Amino acid sequence: MRAPKSRQHGENVSELTTNRLSVYLRCLTELEAQGARTVSSQSLAEQFHLNAAQIRKDLAYFGEFGVRGVGYYVRDLKRHLRQILGLDRSLRVGIIGAGNLGQALADYPGFRQEGFEIAALFDNQVGKVGQQSRSGVPIYEVNDLRKHVKRDQISIAVLAVPASAAQRVADVVVAAGIKAILNFTPGTLQVPEDVKVKGVDLTVSLESLSFFLAHGEFAEDDE
Amino acid sequence: MRAPKSRQHGENVSELTTNRLSVYLRCLTELEAQGARTVSSQSLAEQFHLNAAQIRKDLAYFGEFGVRGVGYYVRDLKRHLRQILGLDRSLRVGIIGAGNLGQALADYPGFRQEGFEIAALFDNQVGKVGQQSRSGVPIYEVNDLRKHVKRDQISIAVLAVPASAAQRVADVVVAAGIKAILNFTPGTLQVPEDVKVKGVDLTVSLESLSFFLAHGEFAEDDE
């Protein structure tokens, strides 16, 4: 199920670097939609408030060099970045938890645009199983996860369940063979070493802003 | 518009600490809904996969001590944490960008549950202004932001606009007097020192997982 390793030097790249590549990709997609065929690192940096030297360094690392007087070819660079990020194949996503957040994510067109296909929602509530989201994503019984993961080749699970169910559901997800989890629940999940978890907690972000508004500032990290 | 400083020692607290307090608060809310009146740090840690010693340390710092043989009183601890986080007053949120993501966020009940009130959506498209979201959040003209921020006492702005508009919109938000921004656009925003930005980029998170699936691992940060 895992794609063959990219021929680009994907092995020694940090997560911060891939995050920047994602940002470049998003900017190039916008430029392409605006009709741009080429862009310089300087212009890319100015339009999107990035660092031109960092852009050149990041792209040179992957063997992508701008052309003097032209810059980068938008479409070519986009294709190259998608390849490095493993987006040159469609990635199927399953969302666990068909509550409001799960359904909002299922219907969010931004994912599909970037090549992620939301294949299915999963829930354990009788009233929800068998239904579908507004955009037509089917809701299956979470106990059938393993079956659907195989059949629909789902490789990424999004966790949108209550906090108290998070670890239990994560265990089910891992047992179904999933190696990548986007976690919308608070707290830490315990998973095997070969499984990657990325956490997103919207309320924690808002509460951090609330604390800032109440107290005016943060101390430096005191860990 | 800023709330009076809390009497708790809120001054020397790092963002990582407030993030943990948010997580504890979420867990306590779940325990309360399950009918629990007290909880020990040990039990809290076990149920939500947290660190019991860290919980005791964090709470002791804020003068909250467990009772021997009882642990913490769930409702009291919840109230105390809400106070520390500045959630003991209602915080009004304005969402800039009434596209699919903006509207999904406006209708997400999780925010309201934690005391955040989504007061309004803002957009610049004629067809959207004057309408409202599914749950009834009104959509106003983004050029009227300043007026609504004052009238509705909006203190947090959520940015859900295209990347190329992000900095321009952030400038408008700052000019309207907002000091806290939750940013769903990729890239960095330039804001004055007294404005706090928290970034959330869902596609970057998914693409990071995609890279992991394609290459199997990340290198250590190479910055």
pLDDT greater than 80 at residue B5: no
* A198 to B208: CB separation less than 8 angstroms, yes or no: yes
Do B68 and B120 lie in one domain? The reply is: no
Q: Indicate whether B72 and B96 sit together in one domain.
A: no
Q: Rounded mean pLDDT of A138-143?
A: 97
**From A70-79, B47-56, B165-174, the region with the lowest mean pLDDT:** B47-56
pLDDT on residue A218: 66
Kindly state whether residues A122 and A104 are assigned to the same domain: yes
Cβ contact B85–A207 (<8 Å): yes
**What mean pLDDT comes out for the span A65-74?**
89
Question: Does residue A212 belong to any structural domain of this protein?
Answer: no
* pLDDT, chain B, mean: 86
The stretch A153-158 carries a mean pLDDT of 96
Q: Measured between CA atoms, how close is B38 to chain A, in angstroms?
A: 16
Q: How confident is the model at residue A12 (pLDDT cuts 50, 70, 90)?
A: low
Q: Please identify, among A36, A51, A84, the residue that sits at the C-terminal boundary of a domain.
A: A84
Q: Which residue has the higher pLDDT, A170 or A65?
A: A170
Could you say which DSSP state residue B189 is in?
A: P
Query: How many separate domains does chain B show?
Result: 2
Residue A151 has φ and ψ, to the nearest 5°, of: -65, -45
- B39's CB contacts (< 8 A; 6+ apart) are B28, B31, B71, B72, B74
Q: Does B193 touch chain A (CB under 8 A)?
A: no
In this prediction, residues B200-218 reach a mean pLDDT of 82
Q: Sorting pLDDT into bands at 50, 70 and 90, what band is A223?
A: very low
Residues B43 and B116 occupy one common structural domain? no
User: What pLDDT score does A18 carry?
Assistant: 86
> Which pLDDT score, from 0 to 100, does residue B191 have?
95
Average pLDDT of span B197-206: 83
pLDDT at B157: 97
Identify which of B19, B12, B193 has the alpha carbon closest to the alpha carbon of residue A219: B12
Q: What gap in Å lies between CA A52 and CA A172, rounded to an integer?
A: 44
Domain-embedded: residue B21: yes
Closest partner CB to B215 (pick from A11, A27, A164): A11
Task: Please indicate if any CB of chain B lies within 8 Å of the CB of A84.
Answer: yes
Domain-ending residue, one of B84, B110, B131: B84
Q: What pLDDT is attached to residue A3?
A: 37
CATH number, domain at B33? Answer: 1.10.10.10
Whether pTM > 0.80 for this model: the answer is no
Range of the domain at A71: 15-84
Contacts of B72-78 spanning 24+ positions with Cβ under 8 A: B72/B38, B72/B39, B72/B40, B72/B41, B72/B44, B73/B37, B73/B38, B74/B28, B74/B31, B74/B32, B74/B36, B74/B37, B74/B38, B74/B39, B75/B32, B75/B37, B77/B24, B77/B28, B78/B25, B78/B28, B78/B29, B78/B32
User: Tens digits of per-residue pLDDT, B39-48?
Assistant: 999 999 988 8
Instruction: Kindly tell me if the per-residue pLDDT of B140 is higher than 50.
Output: yes
Contact A190 B49 (CB under 8 A): yes
B172: domain CATH number?
3.40.50.720
Nearest CA in chain A to B106: A104
Residue A42, pLDDT score: 92
Residues B136 and B165 in one domain: yes
- The answer to the question of residue A113 being in a domain is yes
Q: What secondary structure, in 3-state letters, does A130-192 show?
A: CCECCCCCEEEEHHHHHHHHHHCCEEEEEECCCHHHHHHHHHHHHHCCCCEEEECCCCCCCCC
Biggest CA–CA distance in chain A, Å, is 62
Does B162 share its domain with B108? yes
pLDDT tens digit sequence for B70-119 = 899 999 999 999 999 888 888 999 999 998 778 878 887 777 777 899 99
- Interface contact flag, B203 A114, Cβ < 8 Å: yes
Mutate one of A1, A196, A210 to test the B interface: name it (highest B CB count within 10 A): A210
Q: What is the arithmetic mean of pLDDT over B195-219?
A: 83
More confident residue, A33 or B168: B168
B10-33 pLDDT per residue, tens: 556 787 888 889 889 988 988 998
CB atoms within 10 A of CB B110: 17
Residues B54, B127, single domain; the answer is no
Confidence at residue A107, expressed as pLDDT on a 0 to 100 scale: 81
